[in-house]
Amino acid sequence: MSPKYKYFLIALVLSLGLDQGTKIWARQSLKPRAPEVITVINGYFDLEYAENTGSAFSLLRGRPEARYLLFAFGIVALGVVAYYLRKATPGQRRIAAELGLLAGGAIGNLIDRAAYGYVTDFILWKMGAHRWPNFNVADAALLIGIAGLLIDMKPAEKPTKGKAKA
């Protein structure tokens, strides 16, 4: 097996396993306590159970067609990931791992949408009075994968034309 596929599979399995394991824990441990918030780091990091029927930042929340639209978008995203994985050279292990994080995150949220009609969110970052929207491990994997790809795929700088200094 090519190294790129090994790195892809490792990232996919780790992100998907961690995502699903933590979501099971959240549904069993946090959901019965909701709306109670568990403070991890006072003023910065809490655990708060939430069911997100929308997309990132709760866009499309409460829209009946959102479940199907977002499920379809996830399937298309997996097709795009497969396309770029095939295009990657065997030595592009980091890009393959980033694509694995994208696939793991997408599959993790697809599982939730198919099984429950919503995505289980439970991680809450805040700073003072500002709260970021609740998220989960799949969302974090997606964000890390996208950020990594943006860094790795930036165009190389062109050499400047001119005379070399002696």
Q: What's the predicted TM-score (pTM) here?
A: 0.85
**17 close to 139: Cβ distance less than 8 angstroms:** no
pLDDT at 32: 96
Q: What is the pLDDT of residues 31-41, one digit of tens each?
A: 999 999 999 99
Mean pLDDT within 64-87: 88
Half-sphere exposure of 101 (CA within 13 A, CB side): 17
**Which among 34, 9, 26, 7 is positioned nearest to 137, based on CA atoms?**
26
Catalytic residues: 121, 139
pLDDT at 69: 83
